[in-house]
Amino acid sequence: MVTFEEVYRRFRTPVWRLARRLTGEEEEALDATQEIFLRVWRGLAGWRGEAQISTWVFQIAWNYLRSLRRREMGRARVVPIDPGDGCAEAVTIADPAPSPELRAVAVERLGRIEEALASLGETHRVVIWLRDGEDLSYEEIATVLDVPIGTVRSRLARARDALRRAVEG
Protein backbone atom coordinates (compact mmCIF):
# COMPACT_ATOMS: atom_id res chain seq x y z
CA MET A 1 0.00 0.00 0.00
CA VAL A 2 1.62 3.19 -1.20
CA THR A 3 1.08 6.29 0.88
CA PHE A 4 0.41 9.77 -0.36
CA GLU A 5 3.62 10.97 1.20
CA GLU A 6 5.60 8.46 -0.84
CA VAL A 7 3.82 9.42 -4.04
CA TYR A 8 4.27 13.08 -3.37
CA ARG A 9 7.97 12.81 -2.60
CA ARG A 10 8.59 10.77 -5.71
CA PHE A 11 6.50 12.74 -8.18
CA ARG A 12 6.35 16.30 -6.93
CA THR A 13 9.20 17.47 -9.15
CA PRO A 14 8.19 15.56 -12.33
CA VAL A 15 4.60 16.71 -12.01
CA TRP A 16 5.64 20.28 -11.39
CA ARG A 17 8.01 20.14 -14.38
CA LEU A 18 5.27 18.83 -16.64
CA ALA A 19 2.93 21.52 -15.35
CA ARG A 20 5.65 24.10 -15.94
CA ARG A 21 6.14 22.89 -19.51
CA LEU A 22 2.44 22.85 -20.36
CA THR A 23 1.30 25.98 -18.54
CA GLY A 24 4.38 28.08 -19.24
CA GLU A 25 4.05 30.08 -16.02
CA GLU A 26 5.45 29.22 -12.62
CA GLU A 27 2.51 30.49 -10.63
CA GLU A 28 0.04 28.65 -12.76
CA ALA A 29 2.21 25.55 -12.68
CA LEU A 30 2.24 25.75 -8.90
CA ASP A 31 -1.51 25.93 -8.67
CA ALA A 32 -1.91 23.17 -11.21
CA THR A 33 0.50 20.92 -9.33
CA GLN A 34 -1.37 21.46 -6.11
CA GLU A 35 -4.64 20.57 -7.83
CA ILE A 36 -3.09 17.49 -9.40
CA PHE A 37 -1.86 16.20 -6.05
CA LEU A 38 -5.25 16.90 -4.52
CA ARG A 39 -6.69 14.57 -7.15
CA VAL A 40 -3.96 12.06 -6.48
CA TRP A 41 -4.77 12.19 -2.77
CA ARG A 42 -8.46 11.65 -3.45
CA GLY A 43 -7.89 8.81 -5.84
CA LEU A 44 -5.08 7.07 -4.05
CA ALA A 45 -7.41 4.91 -1.96
CA GLY A 46 -8.98 3.58 -5.14
CA TRP A 47 -5.71 2.87 -6.90
CA ARG A 48 -5.38 -0.88 -7.08
CA GLY A 49 -2.14 -1.19 -8.91
CA GLU A 50 -3.60 -2.10 -12.31
CA ALA A 51 -1.20 0.48 -13.76
CA GLN A 52 2.18 1.65 -12.61
CA ILE A 53 2.01 4.42 -10.09
CA SER A 54 4.06 6.63 -12.42
CA THR A 55 1.67 6.30 -15.34
CA TRP A 56 -1.32 6.74 -13.00
CA VAL A 57 0.06 9.98 -11.57
CA PHE A 58 1.09 11.32 -14.99
CA GLN A 59 -2.29 10.38 -16.36
CA ILE A 60 -3.98 12.47 -13.68
CA ALA A 61 -1.58 15.30 -14.37
CA TRP A 62 -2.04 15.16 -18.13
CA ASN A 63 -5.84 15.01 -17.92
CA TYR A 64 -5.96 17.97 -15.60
CA LEU A 65 -3.44 20.04 -17.54
CA ARG A 66 -5.17 19.29 -20.81
CA SER A 67 -8.53 20.35 -19.37
CA LEU A 68 -6.84 23.46 -18.02
CA ARG A 69 -5.41 24.25 -21.40
CA ARG A 70 -8.79 23.74 -23.04
CA ARG A 71 -10.42 26.14 -20.62
CA GLU A 72 -7.81 28.74 -21.36
CA MET A 73 -7.75 28.12 -25.08
CA GLY A 74 -7.35 31.25 -27.08
CA ARG A 75 -5.41 33.10 -24.45
CA ALA A 76 -2.06 34.27 -25.78
CA ARG A 77 0.77 32.82 -23.82
CA VAL A 78 4.45 33.74 -23.79
CA VAL A 79 6.81 31.35 -22.07
CA PRO A 80 9.49 33.29 -20.28
CA ILE A 81 13.05 32.33 -20.97
CA ASP A 82 14.65 32.59 -17.59
CA PRO A 83 17.40 30.09 -16.83
CA GLY A 84 17.31 31.10 -13.19
CA ASP A 85 19.65 30.15 -10.43
CA GLY A 86 19.38 26.46 -11.12
CA CYS A 87 21.01 26.87 -14.49
CA ALA A 88 24.52 26.79 -13.09
CA GLU A 89 23.70 23.59 -11.29
CA ALA A 90 22.44 22.04 -14.50
CA VAL A 91 25.55 23.06 -16.35
CA THR A 92 27.68 21.70 -13.54
CA ILE A 93 25.92 18.39 -13.86
CA ALA A 94 26.52 18.38 -17.58
CA ASP A 95 30.05 19.59 -17.32
CA PRO A 96 31.87 19.29 -13.99
CA ALA A 97 34.44 21.89 -14.88
CA PRO A 98 33.06 24.25 -17.46
CA SER A 99 34.70 27.37 -18.49
CA PRO A 100 32.72 30.60 -18.30
CA GLU A 101 32.39 30.53 -22.05
CA LEU A 102 31.04 27.00 -22.07
CA ARG A 103 28.66 27.83 -19.26
CA ALA A 104 27.39 30.76 -21.26
CA VAL A 105 26.95 28.55 -24.30
CA ALA A 106 25.14 25.94 -22.24
CA VAL A 107 22.81 28.50 -20.72
CA GLU A 108 22.12 29.92 -24.12
CA ARG A 109 21.46 26.47 -25.52
CA LEU A 110 19.10 25.57 -22.69
CA GLY A 111 17.33 28.82 -23.22
CA ARG A 112 16.91 28.06 -26.89
CA ILE A 113 15.66 24.56 -26.11
CA GLU A 114 13.10 25.89 -23.68
CA GLU A 115 11.97 28.48 -26.17
CA ALA A 116 11.77 25.89 -28.90
CA LEU A 117 9.79 23.58 -26.63
CA ALA A 118 7.35 26.32 -25.84
CA SER A 119 6.83 26.92 -29.53
CA LEU A 120 5.72 23.34 -30.12
CA GLY A 121 2.16 22.25 -30.07
CA GLU A 122 0.82 20.71 -26.90
CA THR A 123 0.76 17.14 -28.20
CA HIS A 124 4.34 17.37 -29.41
CA ARG A 125 5.49 19.11 -26.28
CA VAL A 126 4.02 16.57 -23.90
CA VAL A 127 5.26 13.53 -25.79
CA ILE A 128 8.79 14.85 -26.10
CA TRP A 129 8.84 15.91 -22.47
CA LEU A 130 7.54 12.61 -21.14
CA ARG A 131 10.10 10.69 -23.21
CA ASP A 132 13.19 12.87 -23.04
CA GLY A 133 12.48 14.88 -19.92
CA GLU A 134 10.91 12.23 -17.68
CA ASP A 135 12.26 9.14 -19.42
CA LEU A 136 8.99 7.31 -19.70
CA SER A 137 8.87 4.33 -22.04
CA TYR A 138 6.73 4.24 -25.15
CA GLU A 139 4.24 2.00 -23.42
CA GLU A 140 3.98 4.30 -20.44
CA ILE A 141 3.51 7.32 -22.66
CA ALA A 142 0.82 5.49 -24.58
CA THR A 143 -0.95 4.76 -21.30
CA VAL A 144 -0.67 8.31 -20.03
CA LEU A 145 -1.86 9.88 -23.27
CA ASP A 146 -4.34 7.10 -23.93
CA VAL A 147 -3.16 6.58 -27.50
CA PRO A 148 -1.76 3.53 -29.32
CA ILE A 149 1.95 2.93 -29.04
CA GLY A 150 2.39 3.42 -32.79
CA THR A 151 0.98 6.88 -32.41
CA VAL A 152 3.53 7.58 -29.71
CA ARG A 153 6.38 6.49 -32.01
CA SER A 154 5.30 8.57 -34.97
CA ARG A 155 4.29 11.57 -32.86
CA LEU A 156 7.60 11.52 -31.00
CA ALA A 157 9.56 11.42 -34.26
CA ARG A 158 7.68 14.42 -35.60
CA ALA A 159 8.03 16.26 -32.30
CA ARG A 160 11.78 15.77 -32.21
CA ASP A 161 12.14 16.94 -35.78
CA ALA A 162 9.98 19.99 -34.99
CA LEU A 163 12.14 20.75 -31.96
CA ARG A 164 15.28 20.51 -34.09
CA ARG A 165 13.86 22.92 -36.61
CA ALA A 166 12.74 25.28 -33.86
CA VAL A 167 16.21 25.29 -32.26
CA GLU A 168 17.85 25.92 -35.60
CA GLY A 169 15.47 28.84 -36.04
Partner 1 sequence: MDEATLELLSRYLDDDLVGVERSALEERLSSDPRLRDRLGDLRRGREAVAALAARERHPAALDALVEPLRRAPAERMVVRPVFRWLAAAASVAAAALLALQLVRQHPQPTVTVRALPVARSVAQPSPGHYYQLKPLPRGKDADQAPIGAADRLLRDGPATPVPEPLPPLEVMGPLEEPKPSSAAASRLRQEEAVSDSAASVAVAPAGEREPSSDEVVEGAPAAGVGETPGKRLEVAKAGRQAAPAQAAAPGSPSLPGVLVVHLTTGVVRVPIARLPPGASPVDLRIEVHGERITRALPSAPDGRLPGGIATALAGTPAPGVGDGTYAARVEAAPRPQ
Least distance from partner 1 to the Cβ atom of residue 159, Å:
9
Whole-number minimum distance, CB 49 to partner 1, in Å?
A: 13
Which is nearer to partner 1, 55 or 134 (by Cβ)? 134
**Calpha distance 158→164 (Å, rounded):** 10
Q: Give one word for 165, left, alpha or beta, with left for phi > 0 and alpha for psi -120 to 50.
A: alpha
Judged by CB, which is closer to partner 1: 72, or 139? Answer: 139
CA torsion through residues 127, 167, 20, 89, sign? positive
Kindly tell me which of 5 and 70 has the beta carbon lying closer to partner 1: 5
- Under a CB-based contact definition with an 8 Å cutoff, are residues 53 and 7 in contact? yes
Closest distance of CB 145 from partner 1, Å? 16
End-to-end CA distance of the chain: 49
Q: Where do contacts with partner 1 occur on this chain (CB under 8 A)?
A: 3-5, 8, 12-13, 16-17, 20, 26, 30, 33-34, 37-38, 41-46, 86-87, 89-90, 93-94, 106, 109-110, 113-114, 117, 128-129, 131-135, 138, 153-154, 156-158, 160-161, 163-164, 167-168
Closest CA to 108 of 77, 89, 81: 81
